[in-house]
């Protein structure tokens, strides 16, 4: 059997994947983050920044340019799925996106969603996640918008 030397990056990936097998995915960061292509852009189609919504129930329409949308768990290059951040800042961009009332996951590949918000001022922002709900490198996220619910 012939031995070959692994370049430094390849060796590091091998060690990381071995640690992932030994420790499990929840203990170690198991895979390199998924790359995003140049020019990828996520944006909120509706509501627009400054919109006043009556009643609290609204449709959020999500847009993505230079990438595709696919369900969670599907590992296809240059794709991901939407996460809507409500009244919060971006989470750590090298970890799985939380799933709670402020971080809504659209893992079935949805591009619009009906949400309900209480009266008041709210912020909305989109963050694209890969097949494992981890932001891409570089991360793809929308501008944060503000809406008012009456």
CA 73/CA 123 separation, integer angstroms? 28
Supply the DSSP symbol for 100: B
- For residue 68, give both structure tokens: 């595709």
Cβ(63)–Cβ(45) below 8 Å: yes
pTM for this model (two decimals): 0.79
Q: Which residue in the block uniquely carries the two structure tokens 């999500």?
A: 62
Q: Which residue in the block uniquely carries the two structure tokens 């998924």?
A: 34
CATH number (3.30.530.20, 2.40.37.10, 1.10.390.10, 2.60.40.10) of 34-149 reads: 2.60.40.10
* pLDDT tens digits, one per residue of 49-92: 999 999 999 999 999 999 999 999 999 999 999 999 999 999 99
The mean pLDDT of the chain is 85
Task: Characterize the bridge pairing of strands 103-105 and 79-86.
Answer: antiparallel
């Amino acid at each position: 059997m012939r031995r070959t030397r692994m370049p430094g990056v390849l060796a590091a990936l091998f060690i990381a994947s071995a640690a992932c097998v030994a420790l499990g995915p929840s203990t170690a960061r198991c895979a390199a983050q998924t790359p995003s292509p140049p020019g990828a852009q996520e944006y909120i189609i509706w509501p627009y920044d400054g919109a006043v919504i009556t009643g609290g129930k609204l449709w959020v329409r999500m847009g993505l340019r230079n990438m595709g949308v696919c369900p969670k768990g599907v590992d296809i290059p240059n794709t991901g799925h939407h996460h809507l951040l409500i009244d919060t800042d971006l989470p750590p961009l090298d970890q799985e996106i939380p799933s709670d009332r402020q971080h809504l996951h659209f893992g079935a590949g949805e591009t619009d969603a009906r949400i309900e918000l209480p009266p008041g001022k709210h912020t909305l922002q989109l963050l694209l996640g890969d097949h494992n709900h981890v932001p891409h490198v570089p991360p793809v996220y929308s501008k944060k918008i503000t809406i008012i619910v009456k």
